[in-house]
Structure 1
Amino acid sequence: MNTNVRKFSVEPYKPLQAAVTGLHGLLDHIGHSSRLEFVSLVTYSSQLEVLVAFTRELDVIKTELLNIKLSDKFNLIEALKGVEKLILMEWGSGIPCNVILVVQDNFVNMNSLCLPFSFPGNLFICSLGPEVLRNPLLPVTDENMVNFNIHLMQPEVPVSSHGVVQMFVKLGEKHYASWSGNLVCGNLNSKITLSPNPEPCFKVTDFEYNTYTVDNNLEICGFIELKHLGSPAAVSRHLVLPYTPPSPYHGKGHGSRHPSHSGEGDDESLDEGHTPSFCVLLHGALKVENMAALCQVGNDWYGVLFSWADSKKKSNLMLSFLEPGRDSIPWLGDMNALHIPLEAPADDEAFPVKPADKKSYSQNGVAWIRQAGIQSDIQKILRHARKIPEKTQQFYKELNRVRRAAICLGFLSLIEGLAAILDRECTLLPSSTHPACAIQLTHAAQALRDSASKDHKYSIAPMKMSF
């Protein structure tokens, strides 16, 4: 009896093809949930090669992935050094960046790697090897880089193309999920997203180590003028965007996105676009009034909402996370003690309080290195003197400036000489000159000879006249 045996062919596992398929799915997820992310594609064999520079055009990276070929030479240490140099040249050492390293070999010697990087972020080592990892990767700790983490991603055993794709799906869902929350101001609220995603903040004091996380509800506490707010230190800055609901997709995690044909997702997106948004209203109000909004982003953690323009035509609503604590803005004091006054403050009590005396470092100093500098300042005083009474205030301003500079330098003979010049200028005035000119010049010359004029804090004031 002959029995026909049917043999089922199993598709062989190809690491490169599986990695390309998985990366396509990861790029689809990034383009859908983190549209403002910049992505670059780099390969390394004998030397580092940047296939695609940092861009938001993810289709270009997908096309270039199909052209990658395996090489017989690979140096992981030099590859990581080249990646670090590329990121530092593009973004500097203060911007968090994620590095996704796809390797075929499971054996990675952590002691030989030059880690951590000199910038904050994450290093994801995605292994495609068929064997279980023998030497586990230990986290790298560094006192100067507390925000740097290393993650190991490995498909389930036995390794297959489907398992590799699912590995990249989990990577995208966990580390590239868009943050969404509610912006609340009294009875008004709006669902928003922040780009980039906010990260927890760590604050180390003498006796404790505190971790601050961002709440889902960002509550606006009040509004303040930008000139009163100043430029406080910020932990991070984020772009505030109105929330758009995700579109339903099928075939999740297989590198392709197929929109649903039910029509419900399109209707929801259309309704969301036509719904009035408090986020848009707040942005327009802050821009027109030149103000900022103080909001509470967590427990004893505050932020500032303001309008920021990168060009003359386009502006965006930004959120700056301040240093954790109630005194993150020292000149405002305790943030919990801020309140709306029952009566408007008087003009002379406006904040900030200006000192009565003008500090020497708040104005330009006088430097007489050469004789021409003194002559130029005296000629400027005489030009204003000939145009009195129109230039009375300017005349006395320049006169006091030169007098104070002479006192600081111990050049008291200049004051006597300046009084003599004013007396001589008074006798040379033409007949068509205004009578106030001669009177003011005589008054200024007498004031210069007075002993009170030798005091640095004393100011010579114009003589009050009835015409």
Structure 2
Amino acid sequence: MPCLILVDASLSMLRLASRHDQSCQRKQMAEEGVRHLLQHLKTNFPLEFSSLMAFSSDCERVVGWTRDYDMLIGATSLGVGDKTNILAALKKSGDYCTSEWGVASPCQIIVVTDERPFLFSEHESFPDGFHYSFPFPCKLHFLVLTSSDDVKPCDVTFAQNLGNRFCDPFGSCYVYTPTGVLSSTSVNEMFQRLINSHFVLFSGELACGRLKSKITLMPPPMRMRSGSWADQQCPDSVTESKNVQLDFPRIIEICGFMHLSDLAGVPVISRHLVLDDPSLAQRLTELAKSDDKPSILGVKLESTGGRKASVAGNVGGTGGIGIRLERPDSSGLMGSEKADYGKMPSFRILLHGSLKVEGMAALTKLGDNWYGMLYSAADSRKKANLMLSIFPPHSDISWLGDLNNLTHTEEEDETEDPPFPVKPSHPLSYHPDSNLVWMKGNGMQVDVQKVLRHAKKLPDKQQAFLKDINKLRRTALVYGFHDVLTLVSDQLSRDASGMAPSEAALLVHVAKELRENFDASKPIASF
């Protein structure tokens, strides 16, 4: 997710680290820690957007949203401002994230400051009329450069309450302080704790029967609550039984395959690129670099240094090549496989190519009544990636029905009806055959004229007349157009004067019901 780094540039950051360490200012330690964090993001999350801001009494954007981490690292040497105003900085950072990413995309805000913003009481910190919270899901991190030997150390409880006030109801707040005496070592250790908690690559496995592949997801999936999508958007309405945190599984199991058109427009809560696990590639690359001897199909060739060795290696000669069989290492791969990792077969690449060519998607099971789909997504004409879209937990897709009931089908027969959309067991209230829709005045006029035409053709059109008059009456009552019913009733009364007695009696009865009966649940019936 996008990451905004907010660094305190006030005068208080120019203080020395502590009485024990007077060789470094707090501003310098903050800049060093930020560079350490950005270097980690550059190495492990190169596709994520990040931005850098500095704040004192005002908040200034140093580097906008970018993936150029070299530019971010080069801009960490910040100027010096005046006093700290953390409330204005948090509000401006929230507006800045919203203007770029909207209110649906989660963001991380990292505030690097000293203990000064957290020394006063809660009553003094919030001026009258100040009510603001981030309108988007946010992870707010306070990295406080404070020391245990300060006169007034940071009030961690107040910092936590301050963050919760800004993050409620969609996010969460975390407060980090150095361990022990404030120093460059303790500050770097504090940043490393942040990295280990919230900036760790996801490492999992993609499985389809016996085919498996080590993968990672970018960005890493977050923990989420169970319940419907509406419950997640309105946390106050979530009952205690539904408010259960769900961990993303390490094994993504493919249940089956569907046409991509059948899954078009499904509700999703996040999308992730599916990539090969870089930790495995890095480990194999390091192992390959350590073996400078060429190898072919698991048979390593070794120079004998002027001796001609046999398989046993004890026959002298004038020089040559010795042969010994190589056993797999702890990773289960031979040296040739380590050297040519990029040429190894990958189930992820096979799946991506197949889905792209066939125009299909793979339905994946993530947990109990929790699903997602894998498909090929193209960001340009020449570039396509395997994408994972995660459905809301415990939520059904209306045209697919209960996903737990899906099963494998035989070869499709063109004469059979398509399996989707699934026909509902009850009539839909918005079905066009059961209700009228009046978006413009001429639509209502057409429906009224249709009823009057049926009235003039009684008794042949009696069933159609009663059906259409009930639809017209129900729609008018729902919309509150009572004047329409009055006008139709008057017109039916006038038409009854020139008709046969039986038809005239029916029209008079219907006209009376239109004027007196306003219960939409009780249709007009023949008498």
Q: TM-score, normalised by structure 1?
A: 0.68
**Corresponding position of 1:217:** 251
Are the counterparts in 2 of residues 248 and 265 from structure 1 also a CA contact under 8 Å?
no
Equivalent in 362, 366, 385 of residue 293 of structure 1: 362
Using the alignment, how far apart are the partners of 1:209 and 1:80 within structure 2?
A: 28
In structure 2, do the counterparts of structure 1 residues 353 and 92 end up closer, same or farther at CA, with 3 Å as the change threshold?
closer
Offset from partner CA, 1:236-257 (integer Å, 9 cap, x none): 22121122227879xxxxxxxx
Are the counterparts in 2 of residues 119 and 145 from structure 1 also a CA contact under 8 Å?
no
In structure 2, do the counterparts of structure 1 residues 36 and 353 end up closer, same or farther at CA, with 3 Å as the change threshold?
closer
**Corresponding position of 1:135:** 155
SS of match in other structure, 1:341: coil
Identity %: 34
Are the counterparts in 2 of residues 294 and 303 from structure 1 also a CA contact under 8 Å?
yes
Residue 332 (1) aligns with residue 400 (2)? yes
SS of match in other structure, 2:269: strand
Residue 231 (1) aligns with residue 243 (2)? no
Alignment RMSD: 4.1
Structure 2, unaligned stretches of length 5 or more? 1-19, 227-237, 293-335, 425-430, 455-459, 468-527
Offset from partner CA, 1:286-329 (integer Å, 9 cap, x none): 1222211111112332111122223333222211111212x522
Residue 277 (1) aligns with residue 346 (2)? yes
**Corresponding position of 2:29:** 18
Using the alignment, how far apart are the partners of 2:175 and 2:200 within structure 1?
A: 19
Using the alignment, how far apart are the partners of 1:265 and 1:123 within structure 2?
A: 45
SS of match in other structure, 1:73: coil
In structure 2, do the counterparts of structure 1 residues 215 and 79 end up closer, same or farther at CA, with 3 Å as the change threshold?
same
Larger displacement relative to structure 2 (279-288 or 259-268) = 259-268
Per the TM alignment, residue 74 of structure 1 is displaced from its structure 2 partner at its CA by 2.2
SS of match in other structure, 2:340: helix
Offset from partner CA, 1:21-67 (integer Å, 9 cap, x none): 1111111111112121111111123432111001011111111112x
**Corresponding position of 1:32:** 43
Which amino acid in 2 is paired with 1:50?
Answer: R
Equivalent in 137, 154, 157 of residue 120 of structure 1: 137
Residue 306 (1) aligns with residue 332 (2)? no
Offset from partner CA, 1:352-407 (integer Å, 9 cap, x none): 3799xx95799x999997xxxxxxxxxxxxxxxxxxxxxxxxxxxxxxxxxx9997
Aligned residues: 371
In structure 2, do the counterparts of structure 1 residues 48 and 311 end up closer, same or farther at CA, with 3 Å as the change threshold?
same
Using the alignment, how far apart are the partners of 1:367 and 1:18 within structure 2?
A: 66
Using the alignment, how far apart are the partners of 1:455 and 1:22 within structure 2?
A: 78
Are the counterparts in 1 of residues 145 and 177 from structure 2 also a CA contact under 8 Å?
yes
SS of match in other structure, 1:245: helix
Using the alignment, how far apart are the partners of 2:94 and 2:167 within structure 1?
A: 16
Which amino acid in 2 is paired with 1:242?
Answer: D
Are the counterparts in 1 of residues 259 and 361 from structure 2 also a CA contact under 8 Å?
yes
Are the counterparts in 2 of residues 287 and 307 from structure 1 also a CA contact under 8 Å?
yes
Using the alignment, how far apart are the partners of 2:30 and 2:291 within structure 1?
A: 31
Which amino acid in 2 is paired with 1:333?
Answer: G
Per the TM alignment, residue 341 of structure 1 is displaced from its structure 2 partner at its CA by 3.0
Larger displacement relative to structure 2 (154-163 or 332-341) = 332-341
**Corresponding position of 1:50:** 61
Per the TM alignment, residue 69 of structure 1 is displaced from its structure 2 partner at its CA by 2.1
Using the alignment, how far apart are the partners of 1:243 and 1:124 within structure 2?
A: 28
Within a 5 Å distance, the mapping from 1:129-168 to structure 2 comes to: 129-131=146-148, 133-137=153-157, 139-140=160-161, 145-168=168-191
In structure 2, do the counterparts of structure 1 residues 205 and 282 end up closer, same or farther at CA, with 3 Å as the change threshold?
farther
Structure 1, unaligned stretches of length 5 or more? 1-8, 250-258, 370-403, 413-450, 458-467
Equivalent in 385, 388, 392 of residue 323 of structure 1: 392
Per the TM alignment, residue 345 of structure 1 is displaced from its structure 2 partner at its CA by 4.8
In structure 2, do the counterparts of structure 1 residues 244 and 136 end up closer, same or farther at CA, with 3 Å as the change threshold?
closer
Are the counterparts in 2 of residues 306 and 318 from structure 1 also a CA contact under 8 Å?
yes
SS of match in other structure, 1:74: coil
Using the alignment, how far apart are the partners of 2:451 and 2:166 within structure 1?
A: 51
SS of match in other structure, 2:244: strand
Per the TM alignment, residue 107 of structure 1 is displaced from its structure 2 partner at its CA by 5.0
Which amino acid in 2 is paired with 1:293?
Answer: A
Using the alignment, how far apart are the partners of 2:31 and 2:281 within structure 1?
A: 24
Per the TM alignment, residue 222 of structure 1 is displaced from its structure 2 partner at its CA by 0.3
Question: Which structure exhibits the higher relative contact order, with contacts defined as CA atoms closer than 8 Å and separated by 6 or more residues?
Answer: 1
Are the counterparts in 2 of residues 303 and 319 from structure 1 also a CA contact under 8 Å?
yes
